[in-house]
Amino acid sequence: MEKLPKIGIPIIIAAIILIVVLAKSAVTIDSGEAGVLFETFGKGVVTDEPPMGEGFHLVAPWNKVYVYEVRQQELFEKMRVLSSNGLEIQIDAS
């Protein structure tokens, strides 16, 4: 069995570090979600730019992206209540 050349070990280590950095930098935002960027060494939460939309984004590995659901949700409810004089009233609330 042949030994690895002296240049082979640093190349393998550099490739592993590159894979780890790329994995930490990749952010995927699903449909119905938005991402807010937090810059660790910068000004904190980025407020002067719109939130990140759906899709694949690359960010610096030391920054963090917080993903929130932005879909509109509706709750529809029918209630039967009594008025002050004892009559039953049906209310539709949304």
CA dihedral (38, 43, 47, 53) in degrees, to 10, reads -30
Whole-structure pTM over 0.75, yes or no? no
Pairwise CA distance, residues 83 & 13, whole Å: 76
**Which residues are CB-contacts of 38 (< 8 A; sequence separation ≥ 6)?**
44, 45, 46, 63, 64, 65, 66
| 56 phi and psi angles, rounded to 5 deg | -100, 130
pLDDT of residue 1: 44
Q: Any idea which residue has 């280590």 for tokens?
A: 13
Proportion of the chain above pLDDT 70, given as a percent = 96
What tens digit of pLDDT does each residue of 1-38 get? 466 677 778 888 999 999 998 888 999 999 999 999 99
